Amino acid sequence: MEKVRLSKLMSARGICSRREADVYIEQGSVYVDGQPVRELGTKIYPWQEIVLDRAAQIRQNQQVTILLNKPVGYVSGQPEPGYKSAIILVNNDSHFHQDRSSLRFVPQHLKNIAPAGRLDIDSQGLLVFTQDGRIAKQLIGECSQIEKEYLVRVSGNLTREGLALLNHGLQLDGQALKPARVSRLNQDQLRFILQEGKKRQIRRMCELVGLNVTGLKRVRIGQIRLADLPEGKWRYLGKNESF
């Protein structure tokens, strides 16, 4: 059996992200079969035990995940010319007053935080920011199977054949899309449930069947729903919540 990089194994086991693993290794916080490992690039056997020390576990538990109801007009990641990043909406004034978390906002909660998935500038709804590499991998990792649910307003004529293609049979960028669950809510609104998130996927899917998207709102990621979180407001992911 071949040895594997320690950081890769830590990520595969859901202990942390590879980037975080390298930090913990350099800090001497990673133990393999009870022995500390401090050298980056160390390889071990897949069956060996990996444990983070208590201090690193505490730091992990202090990492926050933030749920934002992103309005139209903000980009998910880095600012673009003429547009602002949605992260600027995360501040003390915009904290949802009905947040049930015991956490109180401090600037440290924005350190090393990043969006776990994208939401187009023309779209609104649930956007996740996290400091926790485990959650980021769960939501956007290559093997992620987390569902994302969208309410989509469209114009144009959707045929029965077109609806069938939206559910399964379309390609983007030369690759077949995973099966989706698409249903008609009324004459001009559809519900999409996807397990992937290619760039502008829903808009491009609709174009392929002769529809134009006039509004798009993400209302659920996994088990987490947008619910009554107002537009432009945010809250913490609770200790007892998971995707």
What dihedral angle (degrees, nearest 10) is formed by the CA atoms of 202, 119, 116, 100?
-110
Alpha helix (H) ranges present in the chain?
A: 6-12, 18-26, 54-61, 133-140, 160-167, 201-208
Beta strand 124-130 with 114-115: parallel, antiparallel or unpaired? antiparallel
Place of tokens 């939206």: 166
* R_g of the chain computed on alpha carbons: 21
CA–centroid distance for 37 within its chain: 31
C-alpha to C-alpha distance for 7 and 131, rounded to whole angstroms: 18
Q: Is 120 annotated in the active site?
A: yes
Q: Which two tokens stand for residue 14?
A: 């859901």
Provide the strand spans (E) within 86-158: 114-115, 124-130, 148-155
C-alpha to C-alpha distance for 128 and 39, rounded to whole angstroms: 33
C-alpha to C-alpha distance for 114 and 137, rounded to whole angstroms: 12
- Give me the sign of the Cα torsion angle 150, 153, 155, 161: positive
Among 33, 93, 99, 120, which one carries the catalytic annotation? Answer: 120
C-alpha to C-alpha distance for 138 and 188, rounded to whole angstroms: 33
Active site residues: 120
